[in-house]
């Protein structure tokens, strides 16, 4: 049985995000064929100030590292075959923290596997010191897990293509089964389509574009609008409540099927994404998808998917008019094709087989 040190963020009781959900799914899979020593990488998302959250995160790591050394001293955990960790390449503090973690943990492991949950890597504008740290982490790695081959064409990954391994996102198998079996319901009167926004309540996640869209496009009715997601910015939550959008707040895994069952069309306006789980959930569940075309979203929905646009109000407004021109049969066909695409390309079974290959 393989021995693996796993350093990842996982969902907490009151907070989650796409990366944490993906990490948890990977943790559950790895446990089926190996012995795991789990380091929780706590990001302290509820902290108001980014710098202090990272300092707390580092202190949390050192506490867990001390416990790890005690276990090593008691010989309850021998040297591992792999150190598997998710890295933060675009944050200066994040890559510095990753550097320290590797220096401290790699001596207890034979090989390092790093996982990059991004569609881009900041490199050219970084200082020479940060560039050195990025290259150090990449050169130490046995394998580099990425979401798409497209990322390997960017510096500094371009020089490490022989180490890259593409692992696309998928859903939790239980959630996948629930969503795939939801009945697809198409509103006969298209003007009564129930639209929804589902992501963290942040400007950086596109909630501002969604709110502005309902002010610009007169075909949209706020009575048929729902917003769901972790309330990161309280001022935004107050604003959307004042503007008569229904706000559901944080959506637990148990609540997701009801969210998709109760709504007809997701408007995913995020201007900055990798390979969002939310869209995979939408594909599987059978709701119509209007989405921005950033990151690897075109790989998820298909390069020629006609209901993607740049993340701005005018382009999304044009997509809304385009959606309103569809017949019931056309909407049903598009939804069905997206569900089939999920099953063919992103099903948990396919993902699980690829994970096995990482540790060969």
Using one digit for the tens of pLDDT, what is the confidence trace for 155-181?
Answer: 889 899 999 999 999 999 999 999 999
Q: Domain 2-167 adopts which CATH fold?
A: Rossmann fold (3.40.50)
**Confidence at residue 179, expressed as pLDDT on a 0 to 100 scale:** 96
Residue in the block written with tokens 């990322």: 151
What average pLDDT does the segment 250-255 reach? Answer: 86
pLDDT of 199: 92
Q: In CATH terms, are 2-167 and 174-345 the same topology?
A: yes
Domains of the chain, residue spans? 2-167, 174-345
State residue 76's pLDDT score: 66
Residue 33 has pLDDT above 80, yes or no: yes
CA 237 to chain centre: 22
Question: pLDDT digits over 269-325, tens only?
Answer: 999 998 999 999 999 999 999 999 999 999 999 999 999 999 999 999 999 999 999
Strand, helix or coil for residue 266: strand
Q: What is the pLDDT of residue 43?
A: 79
Question: Using 50, 70 and 90 to split pLDDT, how confident is the model at 16?
Answer: confident
Residue 191 three-state SS: helix
Q: Model-level pTM?
A: 0.91
pLDDT (0 to 100) of residue 309: 98
Q: Which residue has the higher pLDDT, 353 or 253?
A: 353
Tens of pLDDT along 198-251?
Answer: 998 888 899 999 999 999 999 999 999 999 998 877 788 888 878 889 999 888
Going by C-beta distance under 8 Å and a sequence separation of 6 or more, which residues neighbour residue 151? 116, 118, 119, 120, 121, 157, 164
* Sequence-separated (6 or more) residues with CB below 8 Å from residue 111: 81, 82, 83, 142, 143
Which overall architecture, per CATH, does domain 174-345 show? 3-Layer(aba) Sandwich (3.40)
Q: Which helix (H) or strand (E) holds 178?
A: helix 173-180
Other beta carbons less than 10 A from residue 238's beta carbon = 12
Task: Place 153 in a pLDDT band, splitting at 50, 70 and 90.
Answer: confident
What per-residue confidence (pLDDT) applies to 122? 80
pLDDT, mean of residues 106-125: 90
Check pLDDT > 90 for residue 356.
Answer: yes
Residue 45 has pLDDT above 70, yes or no: no
Span 338-350, average pLDDT: 97
The answer to whether residue 36 scores a pLDDT higher than 80 is yes
Structure confidence at residue 47 (pLDDT): 66
pLDDT digits (tens, 9 = 90+) for 70-112: 887 777 667 899 999 999 888 888 899 999 999 999 999 999 9
CA distances from 183 to 160, 192, 222, 344 (A): 45, 18, 25, 19
């Amino acid at each position: 049985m393989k021995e693996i040190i796993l350093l990842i963020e996982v969902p907490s009781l009151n907070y989650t995000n796409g990366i944490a959900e993906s990490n948890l799914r990977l943790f559950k899979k790895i446990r089926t064929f190996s012995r795991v020593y789990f380091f929780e990488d706590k990001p302290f998302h509820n902290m108001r100030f980014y710098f202090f959250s990272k300092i707390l995160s580092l202190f949390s790591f050192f506490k867990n590292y001390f416990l790890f050394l005690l276990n090593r001293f008691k010989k309850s955990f021998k040297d591992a075959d792999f150190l598997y960790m998710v890295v933060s390449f675009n944050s200066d503090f994040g890559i510095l923290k990753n550097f320290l973690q590797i220096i401290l943990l790699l001596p207890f492991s034979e090989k390092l596997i790093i996982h990059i949950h991004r569609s881009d890597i900041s490199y050219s504008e970084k200082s020479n010191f940060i560039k050195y740290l990025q290259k150090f982490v990449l050169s130490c790695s046995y394998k580099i897990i990425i979401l798409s081959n497209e990322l390997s064409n960017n510096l500094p990954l371009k020089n490490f293509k022989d180490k890259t391994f593409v692992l696309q996102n998928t859903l939790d198998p239980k959630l996948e089964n629930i969503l795939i079996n939801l009945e697809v319901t198409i509103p006969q009167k298209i003007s009564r389509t129930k639209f929804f926004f589902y992501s963290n309540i942040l400007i950086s996640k596109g909630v501002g574009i969604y709110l502005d869209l309902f002010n610009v496009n007169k075909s949209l009715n706020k009575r048929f609008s729902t917003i769901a997601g972790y309330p990161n910015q309280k001022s935004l939550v107050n604003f959307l409540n004042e503007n008569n959008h229904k706000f559901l707040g944080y959506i637990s895994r148990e609540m997701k099927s009801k969210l998709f069952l109760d709504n007809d069309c997701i408007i995913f306006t995020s201007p900055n994404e990798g390979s969002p789980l939310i869209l995979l959930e939408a594909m599987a569940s059978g709701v119509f998808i209007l989405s921005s075309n950033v990151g690897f979203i075109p790989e998820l929905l298909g390069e020629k998917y006609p209901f993607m646009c740049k993340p701005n109000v005018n382009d999304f407004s044009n997509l809304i008019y385009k959606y309103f021109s569809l017949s019931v049969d056309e909407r049903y066909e598009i939804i069905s094709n997206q569900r089939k695409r999920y099953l063919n390309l992103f099903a948990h079974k396919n993902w699980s087989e690829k994970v096995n290959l990482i540790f060969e």
